[in-house]
């Protein structure tokens, strides 16, 4: 499983980082999320799915 954050859609709601803090990093400049590595470890898949569901902007894509 892989995950991506669409920087155009992200508005810095931070819910993704609360759901999966090991995966999503928040920019200190604008608070927008990014992922250091698209590959999601198996033990993080549930947290990443929860993050994608929780994003109000639907900025997170799982593929
Ligand atoms: Fe951005 Fe959505 Fe996370 S708006 S900071 S990707 S909850």
What's 38's domain CATH number?
3.30.70.20
If one counts the domains in the chain, the total is 1
Measured in angstroms, how far is the CA atom of residue 57 from the centroid of ligand 1?
7
The dihedral over CA atoms of 36, 40, 42, 46, expressed in degrees to the nearest 10, equals 100
Q: Which atom of ligand 1 is nearest to the CA of 33?
A: 5
Contact 46, 37 (CB under 8 A): no
- Residue 60 pLDDT level (bands cut at 50, 70, 90): very high
State residue 47's pLDDT score.
98
Domain that holds residue 55: 3-62
pTM for the model: 0.94
Dihedral sign computed on CA atoms, order 7, 57, 21, 4: negative
- Rounded to the nearest angstrom, the distance between the alpha carbon of 21 and the centre of ligand 1 is 12
* pLDDT tier at 22, thresholds 50, 70, 90: very high
Residue 12 has what pLDDT? 98
Q: What is the 3-state secondary structure (H, E, C) of 1-63?
A: CEEEECCCCCCCCCHHHHHCCCCEEECCCCCCEEECCCECCHHHHHHHHHHHHHCCCCCEEEC
């Amino acid at each position: 499983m892989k995950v991506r954050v669409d920087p155009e859609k992200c508005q810095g709601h931070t819910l993704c980082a609360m759901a999966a803090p090991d995966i999503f990093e928040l920019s200190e400049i604008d608070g927008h999320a990014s992922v250091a590595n698209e590959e999601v470890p198996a033990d993080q898949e549930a947290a990443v799915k929860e993050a994608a569901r929780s994003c109000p902007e639907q900025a997170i894509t799982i593929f």
